């Protein structure tokens, strides 16, 4: 498997390029509009064919590049059943997305948003904003639900093998990866806390809204395409 972890410094977003070395087919997970040229260049340099964009949810802190990537490459945009209507394929829990000989298993992990999914591929899982390194996504907008997020993490993600690598959509402290076992033991929002304690903690965060909330959410519901957005 060919794997690259890419970073957008403005939104602290990780985008992942995953490719099958045999067929040279590739997927980008959670691409960022401002990094479109970077991602297209890397795909070309590595001799890959971009066949899929996998969205973990409708993002509120950056605009997706999925629509423009589709226009440039003809790739298929994949989102959850409750995700953006502009996606080419809407997937449910347990479904698989084939990228060459690679097979991503869809895990329904709502709570940060009601459309959140994670993608399990072999020894790693791409968790979007559901589970982060020593943290979780917030639950105070886009139909977020703290109890639902606790259930998604403890009943779905934490049932994976402890050695499973966790690749989140964001990190704000320079950390790149964690494991399921580490987060069970050391995540301060989850370790030693029951559902009620987690809900109380999340309700008391009182975080400011994401800077791009009013722009990003409607833009991402149209795959990042719109008259007010730059066309690259």
Give the span between the Cα atoms of 25 and 108, in whole angstroms.
Answer: 25
Q: pLDDT digits over 6-36, tens only?
A: 999 999 999 999 999 999 999 999 999 999 9
Domain positions in the chain: 2-208
What does the DSSP 8-state code read for residue 170? B
- The two beta strands, 25-29 and 13-19, are antiparallel
CATH architecture of 2-208: 4-Layer Sandwich (3.60)
User: What is the pLDDT at residue 63?
Assistant: 97
The residue-averaged pLDDT of 157-185 equals: 98
Q: What global pTM score does this model have? A: 0.96
Tally of CB atoms within 10 A around 204: 7
d(CA 97, CA 151): 24
Kindly report, residue by residue over 119-131, the tens digit of the pLDDT: 999 999 999 999 9
pLDDT in tens, 39-94: 999 999 999 999 999 999 999 999 999 999 999 999 999 999 999 999 999 999 99
How far is the C-alpha of 194 from the C-alpha of 62, rounded, in Å? 32
CA distance linking residue 13 with residue 64, whole number of Å:
11
């Amino acid at each position: 498997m060919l794997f690259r972890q890419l970073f957008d410094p403005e939104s602290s977003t990780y985008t992942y390029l995953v490719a099958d070395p045999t067929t040279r087919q590739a997927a980008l997970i959670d691409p960022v509009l401002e990094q479109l040229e970077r991602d297209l260049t890397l795909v070309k340099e590595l001799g890959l064919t971009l066949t899929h964009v996998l969205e973990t949810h409708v993002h509120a802190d950056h605009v997706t590049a999925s629509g423009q990537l589709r226009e440039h490459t003809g790739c298929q945009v994949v989102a959850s059943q409750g995700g953006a209507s502009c996606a080419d394929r809407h997937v449910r829990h347990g479904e698989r997305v084939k990228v060459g000989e690679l097979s991503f298993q869809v895990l329904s992990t709502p709570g940060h948003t009601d459309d959140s999914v994670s993608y399990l591929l072999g020894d790693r899982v791409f968790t979007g904003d559901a589970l982060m390194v020593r943290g979780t996504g917030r639950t105070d907008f886009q139909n977020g639900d703290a109890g639902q997020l606790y259930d998604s993490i403890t009943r779905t993600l934490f049932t994976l093998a402890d050695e499973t690598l966790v690749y989140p959509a964001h990190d704000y402290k320079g950390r790149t990866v964690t494991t399921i076992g580490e987060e069970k033991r050391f995540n301060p929002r989850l370790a030693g806390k029951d559902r009620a304690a987690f809900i109380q903690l999340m309700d008391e965060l009182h975080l400011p809204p994401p800077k791009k909330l009013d722009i990003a959410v409607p833009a991402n519901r149209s795959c990042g395409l719109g008259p007010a957005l730059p066309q690259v």
